[in-house]
Amino acid sequence: MSGTILTLNAGSSSLKFAVFSTDETVTTPQLSGKIAGIGTAPVFGAQDAKGATLAKGPLEHLDAAFDHEHLIKLLLPWLAQHQGHEPLVAVGHRVVHGGKHFERPVQVTDAVLATLETLIPLAPLHQPHNLAAIRAVAKWEPDLQQIACFDTSFHQSQGRLAKLFALPRALSDEGIIRYGFHGLSYDYIASQLPDHLGDQADGRVVVAHLGNGASMCAIKDRESVATSMGFTALDGLMMGRRCGTLDPGVILYLMQAKGMTADAVTNMLYNQSGLLGVSGISNDMHVLQNSSDPHAFEAIDLYCYRAASSLAGLIPSIGGLDAIIFTAGIGENSGFVRKLICEQMAWLGVAIDETANDNNATLISTEQSKIKVLVIPTNEELVVAKACHALLS
């Protein structure tokens, strides 16, 4: 079927989109872009396949009051105008949580949407926005096929031990297990390993997805073996606003001794912790790196210390380590963070080339390094588009 596939990644304050051909051999989007600052100061930006900026038209002036539904109402005709003559045949969505219900991408029906709604408490920062985008497309283009692609799917390959909490068995049986997230990103990186690692592509790799959200995944034979995130996207690494791994006793103390409500604790752990909470300045790594405030450095230092601890903790699951891959906003752009993390892995024989690292080169380890260290930009949109291709055909 000739036409185009739209991918949407709807977050709390951003809506990323890309348009791919249904011709699977074309892996570069015809156009892509994002609306950032939703709810505060929305700004639209888009480029064509060659990177040329596209005219904003009616998306030039956006109101802070516009929600995802309103923005998608404006975006769909803009896309129709800019994507040439081929019709849009499907929309693929990044959906953070598929729970135990969805192991692979699925065509969205009313029943699927209703099931996904039940997972909102497990991903309160992401799931409501992912689903708002699905509902908006259904409202404005009811005949368009929609496909949900899950961040949890890539981790289906994990063994039982990697998924279990040491909780009463009945809770595991009802689905209180580690799911893991950022699976679309890990799926993409896994697909790139043969190009970068050759014979070692099926080896032992830890991928560090360091964006606003952050996690790590231990991969072997290009499949997920273990990951730092668990039942929700709160677990594991310290993040922009999220605390990462926390002694559950702290939560009990906050509620029992300090009288905090569940909502107040939720807000603290999801929105007021991480880089923002420790620095007291910002959740943005770039801002913190440019700050001379000692609290900013302490936040970065803690971020890297905990990332290195998590990395080391994942190694037994894959029986050693051949390569570390950095990806996402911080992983792709912050030589400073990569250096701080890699220095703490020097005991393992990790050595990075400072010039290559400063230049965000693809291979940043030295020739002598026992472990290869690479920087590979992620491409979650392409994974969503490919999943749509597969379902459509």
Residues near ligand ADP, by CB under 6 A: 211-213, 240, 284-286, 289, 328-330, 333-334
Query: Is residue 144 within 8 Å of 388, Cβ to Cβ?
Result: no
Q: Is 213 annotated as a binding residue?
A: yes
Retrieve residue 389's tokens. Answer: 């291709």
Q: Looking at the chain, which runs of residues are DSSP E strands?
A: 4-10, 15-21, 31-36, 43-48, 88-95, 106-107, 145-150, 204-210, 214-220, 223-227, 323-327, 372-375
Least distance (Å) between residue 278 CB and ligand ADP? 14
- Rank residues 112 and 208 by Cβ distance to ligand ADP and give the closer one: 208
Element (H, E) at 287: helix 285-289
Locate tokens 């893991």: which residue?
180
Q: Is 329 annotated as a binding residue?
A: yes
- Rank residues 371 and 375 by Cβ distance to ligand ADP and give the closer one: 375
Q: Is 343 annotated as a binding residue?
A: no
Query: Is residue 323 within 8 Å of 373, Cβ to Cβ?
Result: yes
110 is catalytic: no
Strands 43-48 and 106-107 come out as unpaired
Retrieve residue 8's tokens. Answer: 């949407």
Least distance (Å) between residue 296 CB and ligand ADP? 12
Please state at what angle helix 68-82 crosses helix 127-140, rounded to 10 degrees.
60
Least distance (Å) between residue 47 CB and ligand ADP? 16
- Rank residues 141 and 358 by Cβ distance to ligand ADP and give the closer one: 358
Query: Is residue 46 within 8 Å of 33, Cβ to Cβ?
Result: yes
* Residue among 67, 151, 247, 263 flagged as catalytic: 151
Residue sitting closest to ligand ADP (CB)? 329
Q: Is 97 annotated as a binding residue?
A: no
Q: What is the dihedral of CA 8, 236, 311, 337, to 10 degrees?
A: 70
Q: Is 39 annotated as a binding residue?
A: no
- Rank residues 203 and 244 by Cβ distance to ligand ADP and give the closer one: 244
Eight-state DSSP code of residue 151: T
- Rank residues 318 and 330 by Cβ distance to ligand ADP and give the closer one: 330
Beta bridge partners of 325: 207, 374
Least distance (Å) between residue 358 CB and ligand ADP? 11
Q: Is 94 annotated as a binding residue?
A: yes
Least distance (Å) between residue 209 CB and ligand ADP? 8
In sequence order, which residues have a C-beta less than 8 Å from that of residue 39 and are 6 or more positions away? 12, 13, 64, 67
Q: Binding site residues for substrate, as ranges? A: 94
Annotated binding site: 9, 16, 94, 209-213, 329-333, 380
Q: Which residues are annotated as a binding site for Mg(2+)?
A: 9, 380
Q: Which residues are catalytic?
A: 151
